Amino acid sequence: MNKLPNDPGDLSAFSEVAPELADMLVSVTSDIALVLDDKGFIRSVALGGAEPVSATASEWLGRQLVDTVTRDTRRKVEELLREANVAGVSRTRHINHPSAAGADIPVAYTAVRLGQSGPLLVAGRDLRAVSVMQQRLVDAQQSMERDYWRMRQAETRYRLLFQIATDAVLIIDADTLHVIDANRAAARMFGCSVQDMPGRQATDGVAPASLGTLEELLGTVRVSGRPGEAHVTLSGLGGSIHVWVSPLRGEGQSLLLLRATPDGSSPLTAPDDPLLPELMRLTPDAIVFTNEQGMLLSMNAAFAELVKISAEKGVQGRSLGDWLERDGGGFTNLLASVCRSGVKRMGARLWDEKGMSTDIELSAVLIHNGDSNSIGFIIRAVQPRGPGAPHPGSVH
């Protein structure tokens, strides 16, 4: 207990026992208890084990309580004392004390008047543990929000390529064979809108003579986990299509990816999107188009910046594998996977012209262009890396 001598003329009979009451209060319920005279001066201080409250409060003797708090909480101190003097007890106020250690010390104070004209006993509970918990909650919430938006951004990039693809592409629930998602080309092929595709059976729109073929293909891929293909006839005037089905990894769900193109020499093509060139220019993500062998056809400025090349220099004769490949056939396997399944999304590693590496998220889709195919890539840097050991998801 730290205390100043009391002036018998200033305090009532409770003055002599107020310090002992403060000590008892600290030992039972509080982290700090102060005895104030009728002018608001601190006459004694009783402390629990809270640090750095103890180190700070030891210097408060003889000062007014209002002078020990931060400027923004001075008014709360005045309200606390006024309320205790009028009603005998105050409501709890959250008040901050400045600390030499850095962050302010939050304390929840309640004041009680001891007797008709006695001193005020002000008891406080250190709120730093609560503040830490609140900050952790805020940090956790912000982290969840960041993760959510990263997921949504990845989903948006994937969906962009999904919709650019001129093959008909369907994502199918392997258990129910219901369509979960489909692109515009699939909607046109089956004669409905994109919005109407989810919930349909994957076999809807297939001619009765081909139902068994498609159902057997879907069932075989689901059980074996290996891709398969078949020729299927659509009902009405839909004609014959070539179908590729492959397993697709989902979060807790068994999925199938179905890609289809019309049989013959006239593959289904989507109308040109006038927004695509502007999107390539404005997006912060790197966008690259290659042929089926991975040779660059075009790129945006974000990709040029990512790999440290001049956009004006051109990409003639360069392969995307020049920046992804590091010994072995990983890039070749990636191209084969995209050509086989139609879409691909994965983590990878990219090296720029100076030999520095970057972890990336890569989304790719196969795009039909008349008699030839191209592959569209959207690449987003995840974390800059040095020239060290390969990343687990690297194409190498």
Q: What is the pLDDT of residues 87-143, one digit of tens each?
A: 888 898 999 988 877 778 888 898 888 877 778 888 888 887 777 777 777 787 887
Of 10 and 183, the one with more pLDDT: 183
* The pLDDT value given to residue 104: 84
pLDDT in tens, 284-330: 788 888 888 999 888 888 888 899 887 656 666 789 998 986 555 68
Per-residue confidence band for 394, with pLDDT thresholds at 50, 70 and 90: very low
Helix (H, G, I), strand (E, B) or coil at 383: strand
Assigned token pair, 109: 């104070």
What DSSP designation does 75 have?
Answer: H
Helix (H, G, I), strand (E, B) or coil at 348: strand
How many Cβ atoms from other residues are within 10 Å of residue 290's Cβ?
Answer: 23
- Strand 240-249 and strand 228-233: the pairing is antiparallel
Phi, psi of 178 (to 5 degrees): -85, 145
Per-residue confidence band for 44, with pLDDT thresholds at 50, 70 and 90: confident
Return d(Cα 53, Cα 99) in angstroms, integer: 8
Sequence letter at residue 148 = Y
- What pTM was estimated for this model as a whole? 0.49
Assigned token pair, 140: 């956790």
Helix (H, G, I), strand (E, B) or coil at 46: strand
* The pLDDT value given to residue 21: 56
Assigned token pair, 68: 């020990």
Return d(Cα 320, Cα 309) in angstroms, integer: 13
- Dihedral over alpha carbons 212, 222, 339, 345 (to 10 degrees): 140
Q: What are 109's strand-pairing partners?
A: 93, 124
Distances (CA, A) of 61 to 48, 57, 58, 272, 321: 16, 8, 7, 79, 73
Assigned token pair, 230: 């078949």
* The pLDDT value given to residue 28: 46
Of 9 and 314, the one with more pLDDT: 314
* The pLDDT value given to residue 27: 46
Residues 27-54 have a mean pLDDT of 73
Contact 186, 169 (CB under 8 A): yes
Phi, psi of 198 (to 5 degrees): -60, 135
pLDDT in tens, 256-283: 888 888 876 343 333 444 445 555 666 6
pLDDT in tens, 18-38: 555 555 554 445 678 888 888
